[in-house]
Amino acid sequence: MGANVIMVASGKGGTGKSTVAVLLGAELAARGRRVLLVELDSGLRSVDYIAGVYGKTVYDVEDVLNGRCEAGKAVVESPVYRNLYVISAPYSGGHILPAALRVFVEKVGPVFDTIVLDTAAGMGVPFEAAMGVAHRALLVLTPDPVSIRDGRIVCDALEAGGCPEIRLIINKVPRTLANCGIQSLDECIDTVGAQLIGVVPFSTEIQKAGATGAPLAPAGRPRLALRAIAARLCGQYTPLVIR
């Protein structure tokens, strides 16, 4: 059987797609799954930092898709998260061809349990390519009006593209929504029109790691939130409120 393919998407940039992709991949890996995380955001790499594989990659996803190297040569195991394997995006832009991505997923599918495709913001080439192979999409947004509006547009595009399942992750949620420009998280869910799968709190630890390029190994509530999302993806009931 082939791997379960999950794409991570957003409307607005910087909502935390790559962060969520790595931490969720790590939690699925911790549950015993072999996880391949492929970063498709050409020219705007960040997964290599977050997963701690910076400087360890020679080949990238375009080398693999264009047949310049075997997939095995581009795959690097994260030194931070066991069982999480990463293929980085190229340093400079290029095209991810949907047909090539499909062939790649079919080829490596039997080797992994889950393939996480970390896309770029909006509905460009990586988004289209990922949508062609994904079994479900995780739409990551932050609790603010622009992110919600853009999330709605992407959700509509996923529905129009026939994506079998769309689930919402609200990331960077502060303790109070007083300065967010929205009344409640229900507003995000109702406006976007997708079922919620998890809420990840704003974390100064994640923010600091992002600012310094340090690999991410957060503890506490953000970790528990991602662990709960991984459990839900595996079909396990997990309450929404984390205490």
Ligand X SMILES: Nc1ncnc2c1ncn2[C@@H]1O[C@H](COP(=O)(O)OP(=O)(O)O)[C@@H](O)[C@H]1O
Nearer Cβ to ligand X, position 154 or 200? Answer: 200
CB of 190 to ligand X, least distance (A): 22
**CB-CB neighbours of 113 under 10 Å:** 18
Residues 41-80 that bind ligand X (CB under 6 A): 46
Residue 10 contacts which entry, ligand X, Mg ion, none (Cβ below 5-8 A, type-dependent): ligand X
Q: Which residues, other chains included, contact 22 with Cβ-Cβ below 8 Å and sequence gap of 6+?
A: 37, 47, 50, 51, 78, 81, 84, 216
Task: Report whether 197 contacts 229 (CB < 8 A).
Answer: yes
Contact partners, residue 35, CB within 8 Å, separation at least 6? 25, 26, 28, 29, 83, 84, 85, 112, 113, 114, 115, 116
DSSP 8-state secondary structure symbol assigned to residue 44? -
Smallest CA-to-CA distance from 54 within 82, 80, 26, 23 is with 80
Q: Which partner in ligand X, Mg ion, none is near 14 (CB below 5 to 8 A by kind)?
A: ligand X
14 or 181: whose CB is closer to ligand X? Answer: 14
Q: Candidates 16-24, 62-70, 75-83, 235-243 — which segment interacts with ligand X by CB under 6 A?
A: 16-24
Calpha distance 46→111 (Å, rounded): 25
CB of 17 to Mg ion, least distance (A): 5
For residue 171, the partner it binds in Mg ion, ligand X, none, with Cβ less than 5 to 8 A by kind, is: ligand X
CB of 92: closest distance to ligand X in angstroms? Answer: 17
Residue 138: φ, ψ to 5°: -105, 120
Q: How far is the CB of 224 from ligand X (least distance, A)?
A: 12
Q: Does 119 bind ligand X (CB under 6 A)?
A: no
Please say whether the beta carbons of 41 and 120 come within 8 A.
yes
Total site size for ligand X, rule CB under 6 A: 19
Asked if residue 210 binds ligand X (CB under 6 A), the reply is yes
Nearest residue to ligand X, using CB?
210
202 belongs to the binding site for ligand X (CB under 6 A): yes
| Rounded Cα gap, residues 179 and 199, in angstroms | 18
* Binders of ligand X in range 137-196 (CB under 6 A): 171-172
The two structure tokens encoding residue 226: 């991602």
Instruction: Please say whether the beta carbons of 52 and 77 come within 8 A.
Output: no
Q: Which does 152 bind (CB under 5 to 8 A by kind): ligand X, Mg ion, none?
A: none
Instruction: List the single partner that 222 binds among ligand X, Mg ion, none, CB under 5 to 8 Å by kind.
Output: ligand X
Residues near ligand X (CB under 6 A) are: 10, 13-19, 46, 171-172, 200, 202-203, 206-207, 209-210, 222
